Amino acid sequence: QVQVVESGGGSVQAGGSLRLSCAVSGMSIGQNCVAWFRQTPGMERERVAVYYGGYYQRFATSVQGRATFATDAAKNTLFLDMTSLKPEDTAMYYCTIEPRPPGSVCPTRARDYTYWGQGTEVTVSS
């Protein structure tokens, strides 16, 4: 059984930083597509960043240069480090994992991901 658990959200002031954690059980974060999406009320989930092992990482234009990945292989956990946070980063952040063979292009749409966490809320005040 695959389980995805996010943590690390919170309230910060603009310019601050957060580390979001995505702990996965039942699938390896290093051999599948692991993505972070965010969603605000009334809007569709948008992909913020995606990771496949150490050689495939993509970031949305909105967070490019402000987001990086880190991993804890022993805990099968992927971290999304975000800096220079802006009020427009305020959203519910979801981690998701989708099985894909090596060399695949990871999906961009939320509906193409199978396993989701419950989300962690990020609020950035100006």
pLDDT > 90? residue 82 = yes
State the average pLDDT over residues 7-30. Answer: 97
With residue 85 as reference, give the H or E element that holds it: none
d(CA 100, CA 96): 13
DSSP β-ladder status, 120-125 and 10-13: parallel
pLDDT > 90? residue 46 = yes
Single-letter code of the amino acid located at 38:
R
Can you give the pLDDT at residue 103? 86
Return the higher-pLDDT residue of 54 and 73.
73
SS3 75: helix
pLDDT > 90? residue 53 = no
